[in-house]
Structure 1
Amino acid sequence: MRGTVFHYDQDHDYGYINGVDGKRYIFSRADLTQNMTLARRTLVEFTPDDGTAHDIVAAKSTPSSASGAPQQRRRATENRTARSMGLWAYFLRALGDDYGNFTGRACRKEFWAFHLWFYVVLVALFGFGILLNLAINGFDDRPGTSIGYIPALLFVPAAILPSIAVAVRRLHDIGLTGWLVLLCYTPALGAVAFLIFGLLPSQFGENRWGPVPAGVGPA
């Protein structure tokens, strides 16, 4: 995969690469396969592995038409971390660009925005289903079709993966491993873990999963 160096801390030997897929990957000098400059925006090729970059080599320069996509991806990623977003925009991004994205960080606003709009959309779809069923069946007591509930029933499984992904990124934001998301799905601790993870403040400053999200100030 291709990408560009976003940041490298020589003293602590870690850095980040913005991949052409819009995700950010962490690396250290041990992941380099050749001596190379790690200046910001250096074009590289690497092997992605669960949020980390390995086998990093300097990429050969390509015509501007071929490098346009990586540059646009990089600018979009940097702009995304530079400004805060509205609740609906966070929800749409979770269902779009960040669908299945388990890397990076998500602030409290992004976490709660997703779940707020998830339930708003779900209620709206069920309401639409009830009205559609009434329009088809009328108000008779006899059994009728339930086809109106299909959109809501399709929406729920489609939103499961981004729901888990945003929870994992929220855990990264507070400095915890994403595997703790499993606590949110345990019968006894699920609701409590969900509330705690959603309310804890962001870890200020850059951590191993990326820079502090936009709109987050000092604690």
Structure 2
Amino acid sequence: MRGEVLHYDQEQGFGFITGADGKRYSFAREDLRREMALVRGAEVEFQPDGDRAGNVFSVRVGMSTPAESAAPAATPLAGGAPAAPAHFGRNAENGTTESTGLWSYFRRGLTTNYVNFSGRARRKEFWGFCLFWTIGLVVAIGVGLSVDLSRGDVEGGGDEPIVMFGLFGLYVLLTILPWVALIVRRLHDLGLTGWLAILCFLPYVGGLATLVFALIPTQGGDNKWGPVPAGVRF
């Protein structure tokens, strides 16, 4: 399969490749066909094995021997303009990068990142999801309460607002996995293990732990969970 190098740590000998199928594969130094210096954006061929890439080798520029690693990663075209890098995955179809807007983060959190426990999530992504999740919760409660009132379920202190409680429970149930995945990715963005997400669900300290993790700035530079998220400036 063809892919593009997303990140490679030469010292620790591990990295990630975005495959032409849109999935991300991890690889280590021993998965390289030969010892080479990889740069981000290099086009490679590899053999997928689950979430692991094996037998990785260069297709174009961007991958070289250590002595050649200082060479330019792109060759100018006849008109003098540099060659455009290849793109793979979800952005390959339209040639654009993913939006970093608050709504876009929320939408991807409920679709492509629904159970994505790998990669990193910046502070803006966390707060964007939090904002629109809260709006959705208010809407669900409002709709449920309106239905209960129209049926007379809560008039005169009688029956419980069953529809409201039902919509509330369904909404929380459908969004709990995206929340956990988002917290794990936020921890990765800080250079921490995702297992610390357990602290966010403990009584008494859960809310405080979540707030602290949400406010800490992005860790500078790439880490073993991936490169710095798009849009982050230091």
- TM-score, with normalisation over the residues of structure 2? 0.72
Structure with bigger helix share is: 1
Q: Which amino acid aligns with 2:46?
A: V
Counterpart in 1 of 2:48?
Answer: 46
CA offsets per residue over residues 90-109 of structure 1, 9 Å max, x none?
Answer: 11110011010011100001
Deviations 1:57-110 (A, max 9, x none): 56xxxxxxxxxxx93435379823xx5x22121111100110100111000011
Q: Deviations over 1:125-182 (max 9, x none)?
A: 1011111111223774353772354333211111000000010100011111111111
CA distance in 1, matches of 2:136, 2:124: 18
State the partner residue of 2:61.
Answer: none
Alpha-carbon contact 1:14-1:29 (below 8 Å) kept: yes
SS at match of 1:119: helix
The AA in structure 2 aligned to 1:79 is T
Quick one: higher RCO (CA 8 Å, sep 6+), 1 or 2?
1
Q: Does the C-alpha gap of structure 1 residues 78 and 14 become closer, same or farther in structure 2, counting only changes over 3 Å?
A: farther
Gaps (5+ residues) in structure 2? 58-86
Q: Secondary structure at the match of 1:5?
A: strand
> Which one-letter code corresponds to 1:164 in the other structure?
V
- 8 A contact 1:125–1:149 mirrored in 2: no
Question: Pairwise CA RMSD of aligned residues?
Answer: 3.2
What does residue 71 of structure 1 align with? 88
Q: Which residue of 1 aligns with 2:31?
A: 31
SS, match of residue 43 in structure 2: coil
User: Pairwise mapping of residues 129-144 of structure 1 onto structure 2 (< 5 A)?
Assistant: 129-137=144-152, 140-141=155-156, 142-143=158-159
1:163 aligns with 2:165: no
Answer with 1 or 2: which has the greater Rg: 2
User: Kindly tell me: are residues 147 and 190 of structure 1, through their superposed partners in 2, closer, same or farther at Cα, counting changes over 3 Å?
Assistant: closer
Partner of 1:17: 17
Percent identity among equivalent residues?
A: 44
Preserved CA contact (<8 Å) 1:17 1:24: yes
Q: 2:211 is matched with which residue?
A: 195
- Output the CA distance in 2 between the equivalents of 1:215 and 1:4: 20
Give 3-state SS (helix, strand or coil) of 1:205's partner: coil
Cα distance change, pair 138–180 in 1 and its aligned pair in 2 (3 A)? closer
Q: What amino acid sits opposite 1:16 in the alignment?
A: F
SS of alignment partner, residue 97 of structure 2: helix
Equivalent residue letter for 1:75: A
Q: Is the 8 A contact 2:154 2:161 kept in 1?
A: no
| Alpha carbons 2:6, 2:227 under 8 Å: kept | no
What is the CA distance between 1:201 and its match in structure 2? 0.6
Q: What one-letter code is carried by the residue in structure 2 that aligns with 1:161?
A: L
Letter in 1 for 2:25: Y
The residue type equivalent to 1:41 in the other structure is: E
Change (3 A) 1:137 1:105: same
Against the structure 1 CA distance between its residues 133 and 97, is the aligned structure 2 distance closer, same or farther, given a 3 Å change threshold?
same
Q: TM-score, normalised by structure 1?
A: 0.77
Number of corresponding residues: 202
SS at 1:181's partner residue?
helix
Name the residue aligned to 2:135. Answer: 120
